[in-house]
């Protein structure tokens, strides 16, 4: 009887330990030998895990005694996972993520100079170094980048009697009208919660708008942005976009584009391999600069993902992190990742390797004129979240100014 009782008590305690995360599985302890690191990588597609597995095997073979524990996390789980890591003090040594500035603000991560050799540091393209700074110091380690351009369906354009891709907003509208008459969707507008911040910024920056003003203060409800959103709303209300842009995600738009049912849409270098090829390899499409309101300048949206190295065990992990990162940033290793995943380089050395592909070259060439979201501001994640939830409603029934005012309010509250 007594043994039975002890069993129940033991079971209860096990549950208690399991729930509070103090179990054996915890890896946060200070017992690290400084040679084993945990790397949390994001899943970009099915090729990501095999790539890292091979790279780590290679790294461990060349650096005996060092070990890398890999954990793959899906992008949809990433935010929740990262918050849990931080809150339960079980941060990985290296994290592959799309934000770093709030970690830097909270003193959780190393400066780039602490975990990279000078040679690697000097190889980053300056545009990305600038994006990876918090308060003037580089914390983020640029990982991959991407740029957005206008995709158009050449067959539909021919059928509609359009010769050149549109350069101005007026041409976008008239082009969309002609494509619609030819029996397809004029412009595919994804303003659903997946990535509306990217779609909107791609238009706003080509009207002189953006997230912040010249002094770096939030300027989300500025006039240029209201005009941009009003233009997009007008496209929707004139029936030139697919129905309900406010709930449409990018993958739906590009699925339709690949099927030849959409005239124009904004995509990135990954669009061909990730969205078009799986559906229709023979699609006759072209890529052009993003149209602007006036037609005189054409800005490109740039996107950058980063690696962040977390402080742990009084810096005991620094050396192992440095070894692994310097290994990854070697030209052949980085460019292999980029070609498998369809992203753009962040280092000069890998850039040259990629320009041989004519499709990729268009995007590599667009990088120098690219504009980025203010990711170095710790409040950006909250702003992007608010944009994802609400911006699309302005393309449907809400008043663009009111929606942007509300997001501005969120931005100011977040800091």
Query: What is the CB neighbour count within 10 angstroms for residue 255?
Result: 18
- Residue 13 binds other proteins, judged by CB under 8 A: yes
Q: Which stretch binds other proteins (CB under 8 A): 1-9, 23-31, 47-55, 215-223?
A: 1-9
Q: Which stretch binds other proteins (CB under 8 A): 44-52, 76-84, 170-178, 277-285?
A: 76-84
Contact 187, 172 (CB under 8 A): yes
Judged by CB under 8 A, the residue of 34, 47, 60, 79 near other proteins is: 79
Judged by CB under 8 A, the residue of 57, 62, 83, 361 near other proteins is: 83
> Quick one: which of 354, 349, 359 has its CA closest to 339?
354
CB of 16 to other proteins, least distance (A): 5
Cβ closest to other proteins, residue 82 vs residue 360: 82
Judged by CB under 8 A, the residue of 5, 61, 214, 356 near other proteins is: 5
- Residue 283 binds other proteins, judged by CB under 8 A: no
**DSSP letter at 77?**
H
Report the SS3 class of residue 152.
Answer: strand
Judged by CB under 8 A, the residue of 312, 393, 400, 411 near other proteins is: 393
- Alpha helix locations (H) across 147-284? 154-160, 169-181, 196-204, 223-237, 250-258, 270-271, 277-279
Q: Measured in whole angstroms, how far is the alpha carbon of residue 381 from the centre of its chain?
A: 12
Query: Would you state the torsion angle of the CA atoms of residues 59, 336, 201, 380, taken in this order, to the nearest 10 degrees?
Result: 0
Q: Which stretch binds other proteins (CB under 8 A): 13-21, 50-58, 287-295, 347-355?
A: 13-21
Residues 101-120 that bind other proteins (CB under 8 A): 102-103, 105-106, 108
Cβ closest to other proteins, residue 69 vs residue 87: 87
What length does the chain have?
A: 415
The full DSSP string for 88-129 is TT---SEEEES--HHHHHTT-B--HHHHS-HHHHHHB-HHHH
CB of 87 to other proteins, least distance (A): 5
CA 371/CA 196 separation, integer angstroms: 16
CB of 375 to other proteins, least distance (A): 13
CB of 57 to other proteins, least distance (A): 32
* Cα three-residue angle 291-297-301, rounded to 5 degrees: 65
Contact 334, 350 (CB under 8 A): yes
Residues 353-392 that bind other proteins (CB under 8 A): 378-379, 381-382, 385-386, 388-390, 392
- Residue 186 binds other proteins, judged by CB under 8 A: no
End-to-end CA distance of the chain: 61
Task: For the chain, give the longest Cα–Cα distance.
Answer: 88
Cβ closest to other proteins, residue 153 vs residue 256: 256
- Residue 247 binds other proteins, judged by CB under 8 A: yes
CB of 365 to other proteins, least distance (A): 34
Q: State the number of binding residues for other proteins (CB under 8 A).
A: 46
- Residues near other proteins, by CB under 8 A: 5, 8-9, 11-13, 15-16, 19, 79-80, 82-87, 102-103, 105-106, 108, 192-193, 243-244, 246-247, 252, 256, 378-379, 381-382, 385-386, 388-390, 392-393, 396, 398, 406, 410, 414
């Amino acid at each position: 009887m007594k043994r039975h009782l002890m069993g129940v008590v033991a079971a209860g305690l096990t549950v208690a330990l399991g729930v509070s995360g103090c179990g054996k599985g915890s890896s946060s302890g200070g017992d690290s030998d400084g040679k084993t690191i945990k790397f949390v990588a994001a899943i970009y597609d099915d090729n990501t895990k095999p790539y890292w597995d091979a790279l780590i095997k290679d790294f461990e073979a060349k650096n005996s005694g060092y070990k890398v524990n890999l954990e793959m996390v899906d992008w949809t789980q990433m935010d929740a996972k990262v918050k849990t890591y931080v809150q339960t003090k079980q941060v990985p040594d290296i994290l592959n993520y799309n934000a770093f500035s709030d970690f830097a603000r909270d003193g959780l991560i190393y400066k780039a100079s602490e975990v990279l050799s000078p040679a690697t540091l000097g190889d980053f393209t300056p545009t990305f170094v600038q994006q990876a700074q918090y308060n003037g110091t580089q914390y983020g380690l640029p990982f991959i980048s991407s740029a957005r351009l206008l995709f158009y369906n050449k067959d539909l354009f021919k059928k509609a009697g359009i010769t050149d891709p549109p350069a101005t907003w007026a041409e976008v509208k008239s082009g969309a009208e002609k494509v619609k008459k030819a029996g397809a969707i004029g412009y595919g507008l994804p303003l659903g919660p997946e990535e509306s911040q990217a779609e909107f910024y791609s238009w706003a920056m080509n009207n002189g708008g953006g997230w912040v003003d010249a002094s770096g203060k939030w300027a989300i409800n500025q006039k240029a942005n209201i005009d941009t959103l009003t233009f997009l709303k007008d496209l929707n209300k004139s029936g030139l976009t697919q129905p309900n842009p406010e709930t449409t995600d990018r993958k739906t738009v590009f699925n339709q584009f690949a099927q030849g049912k959409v005239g124009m849409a904004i995509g990135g270098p990954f669009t061909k391999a990730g969205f078009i090829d799986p559906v229709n390899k023979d699609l006759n499409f072209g890529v052009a600069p993003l149209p602007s309101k006036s037609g005189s300048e054409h800005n490109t949206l740039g996107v950058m993902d980063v690696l962040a190295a977390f402080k742990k065990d009084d810096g005991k992990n620094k050396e192992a992190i440095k070894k692994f990162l310097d290994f990854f940033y070697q030209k052949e290793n980085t460019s292999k990742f980029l070609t498998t995943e369809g992203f753009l380089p962040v280092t000069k050395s890998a850039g040259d390797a990629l320009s041989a592909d004519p499709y990729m070259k268009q995007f590599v060439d667009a990088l120098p004129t690219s504009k980025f979201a203010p990711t170095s501001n710790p409040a950006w994640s909250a702003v992007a979240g608010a944009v994802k939830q609400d911006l699309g409603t302005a393309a449907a029934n809400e008043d663009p100014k009111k929606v942007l005012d509300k997001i501005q309010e969120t931005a100011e509250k977040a800091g």
